[in-house]
Chain A
């Protein structure tokens, strides 16, 4: 076996080993989604106990508001679908847009209330990571960032 073919063979085997290591690590390291977003938030942003408690209280207080908005949007969508004519459909669509805007404002306000509990570095990362994922927003930069 020539030294060149030996090197090529070694590199191919190494590449294969690297690929297997990548796939196995990716599978093993993937945490099971536990569905506890607040626990993730606390861990991800390294929040202390006081911050975690305040944010949990805000989150729980916002949940019924969020559910009401959710129901209102679904009702608005149903109204658009059930409209008998174009005039009714346009009116229902306008109402739906207004509803969504109200919901988005409430969500943005909640986002800022949560961010206000965090320290500046946590706040910036939170607004970048979460703000950019919210439904349609009208800011050029992530919320709260100048």
Chain B
């Protein structure tokens, strides 16, 4: 598909320095545009659309690992308590008569 042409690029193609302007003026303009463009591209690299998948993937990974760890710890604790109730009569009585 054809990309719509950039109006600035079209303008620069049409632009001819007027006589009397310094000969290096056009080169200076092109150089400054190139510097600006390079700066903009480095900022764009870290902008929203590019950063989101990476940050989301990292957050999902950390969230999943944390969820898994906490779930396992809770299960271990619950089962250890159940095991203790099966061998400790005092705990057994406390559990059956909590008051």
- Interface set of A (CB-CB < 8 Å, partner B): 1, 3, 5-7, 9-11, 13-15, 17-26, 29-31, 33, 35, 37-38, 40-41, 44, 59, 62-63, 66-67, 69-70, 72-74, 77, 100, 103-104, 106-107, 110-111, 129-130, 133-136
- For this complex, into which size category does the number of interface residues on chain B fall? 35 or more
* Pick from A23, A70, A133, A136: contact of B92, CB under 8 Å: A70
The smallest beta-carbon distance between B83 and chain A, in angstroms, is: 4
The smallest beta-carbon distance between B24 and chain A, in angstroms, is: 33
Is B74's CB within 8 Å of the partner chain A? yes
* Interface membership of chain B positions 7-50, coded 1 if the CB is closer than 8 angstroms to chain A and 0 otherwise: 00000000000000000000000000000000000011011110
Chain A neighbourhood of B43, CB < 8 A: 3
5 inter-chain pairs at a CB distance below 8 angstroms, sorted by A residue, are A18-B63, A20-B63, A33-B79, A33-B82, A135-B94
CA–CA, A107 and B63, complex, Å: 40
- Interface set of B (CB-CB < 8 Å, partner A): 43-44, 46-49, 51-52, 55-56, 58-64, 66-68, 70-72, 74-76, 78-84, 86-94, 97
Chain B neighbourhood of A1, CB < 8 A: 47-48
* Pick from A18, A37, A77: contact of B97, CB under 8 Å: A77
The smallest beta-carbon distance between A126 and chain B, in angstroms, is: 10
Q: Do most interface residues of chain A lie in helix, strand or loop, or is the interface mixed? A: helix
A6-B51, A9-B48, A37-B86 are known; give 18 further A-B pairs, CB within 8 A. Answer: A1-B48, A5-B48, A7-B51, A14-B55, A18-B58, A21-B61, A22-B64, A26-B67, A30-B71, A31-B75, A35-B82, A37-B79, A59-B87, A67-B89, A70-B93, A77-B97, A103-B89, A133-B81
CB within 8 Å for A29 and B68 given contacts A10-B52, A21-B63, A74-B97: yes
* 6 pairs of A and B residues whose beta carbons are closest in the complex: A6-B48, A18-B59, A25-B67, A21-B63, A14-B55, A69-B89
The smallest beta-carbon distance between B82 and chain A, in angstroms, is: 5
Q: Most chain-B Cβ atoms within 10 A of its Cβ — which of A6, A33, A74, A129? A: A6
Whether the pair B47, A110 counts as a contact (CB closer than 8 A) is no
Chain A residue nearest to B92 (CB atoms) is A70
Whether the pair A22, B67 counts as a contact (CB closer than 8 A) is yes
